[in-house]
Amino acid sequence: MLKSLPSSLSHAADGARRGSVKGILVALVLVVLALLLWQLRQEFQQAQDSERQRSLESGIQFADHLAASMDLKAHAALALLHQHAPQPQAGLDSPSLLGDLQRIYPSLHSLAWLDAQGRPLADTQAASGDAAVLPALLRRAGDDPFHYLFAETDGGTVYLLLRQSAADQPNGHWLLRLSGDSMHRWLLQQNAHGWLLEDKVEQRVIARRSQSANPDPRIAPLSAEERSLSIRVLPLPGSDWQLRALFDADKARAAQWPARSCCFSSAACWCSALWSVCCANSTRCANSTPPRDARCARPTAPCGPSRSASC
């Protein structure tokens, strides 16, 4: 009984060592898994931040391009009017004037000359029906050399007011009327990211585009959801408008999740394989270790003829 005591103690020590090895392996696998999860989370966040930054940069570029195009077209139209209609009231009778302006604004359908109070003195559209609102539009334009406005008359009309230079006589403003749907067709060609074109004076959205939809001609006040998706408000000089760059974080996460879930599955499989290999190595090492009493036992001399008696 005394001889079996060291043997049982050695087996207990070997079991404790194997248990500690397995504990270390479990801790190692958990640490590796935690690191992989942290890395996936960092990559996921970086991808979302990059997508948001791309949407913001695209919105800024779009606003700059839109403002430059509006400025260029307005000055080209004003130069054409100065050239072909030095006397505004008489110049409206020119048969080629409207056609020349339509090369700049293809959706232009009428032209008028307003006095300093906004009263139409000459108009190519006899029954325009907007004479009552023109003084208010003129006040909104202020001293801008050009000013774009939007009104819901006739299904939506874009007004462009061009101020006659102070050095030219008579003083007044040219009024160009453009169809509202042409603005949506033109905006469709400009940018693929989400945006809103908002009338900041009337506080309504006059054109919108999500990241997966065409421009929406629906005119409505800015919703709480659209406000929450706005990442930058970009004023457009020479107009009542401002552009809102949009970013939908939920849609971005949903689009990124399939790729990230594949990475997570691969990481889980890798950890499972690592655990299997570690367990196999631990078992092999335990089986290859001889018992302590076998290692410590002394070999017994064989019985020879001279020791037969003792044997």
Task: Output the pLDDT for position 300.
Answer: 47
Within-domain flag for 240: yes
Q: Is pLDDT of 8 > 50? A: yes
In a domain, 256, yes or no: no
Q: Is residue 303 part of a domain?
A: no
Q: What would the mean pLDDT of 118-133 be, rounded to a whole number?
A: 86
Indicate whether 156 belongs to any domain. Answer: yes
pLDDT score of 138: 92
* CATH number reported for the structural domain that contains residue 196 in this entry: 3.30.450.20
Give yes or no for residue 258 having a pLDDT over 90.
Answer: no
Residue at 106 is within a domain: yes
Full residue range of the structural domain in which residue 86 is found: 52-249
* Residue 307, pLDDT score: 43
CA atoms within 13 A on the CB side of 209: 23
- Average predicted confidence (pLDDT) for the chain: 77
Helices marked H in 196-248 — which ranges?
Answer: 224-229
**pLDDT tens-digit map of 219-256:** 788 889 989 999 999 999 999 999 999 998 888 778 76
> Does residue 9 belong to any structural domain of this protein?
no
Collapse the DSSP code of 10 into the 3-class scheme (helix H, G, I; strand E, B; otherwise coil) and give the result.
helix
Q: How many domains does the chain have?
A: 1
Residue 285 located in a structural domain: no
Is 102 in contact with 178 (CB distance < 8 Å)?
A: no
- Gyration radius (Cα) of the chain, Å: 41
pLDDT per position as a tens digit, 265-292:
666 676 666 666 666 655 555 555 455 4
Write out the DSSP string of 116-176.
TTS-EEEESSTT-S-TTTHHHHHHHHTT-SEEEEEE-GGG-EEEEEEEPPTTSSS--EEEE
What tens digit of pLDDT does each residue of 27-49 get? 777 787 788 788 877 877 788 88
Q: Note the pLDDT of residue 101.
A: 93
Angle (deg, nearest 10), helices 97-104 and 4-84: 170
- Check residue 271 and give its pLDDT: 64
Residue 171 pLDDT: 81
pLDDT at 217 over 70: no
Count other Cβ atoms within 10 Å, centred on residue 177.
23
**Which whole number is the average pLDDT over 90-99?**
79
Transcribe 182-194 into DSSP letters. HHHHHHHTT-SS-
Angle (CA) 161-166-167 rounded to 5° is 130
Residue 269 placed within a domain: no
From 77-86, 180-189, 236-245, 292-301, the region with the lowest mean pLDDT: 292-301
The DSSP output letter for 96 is T
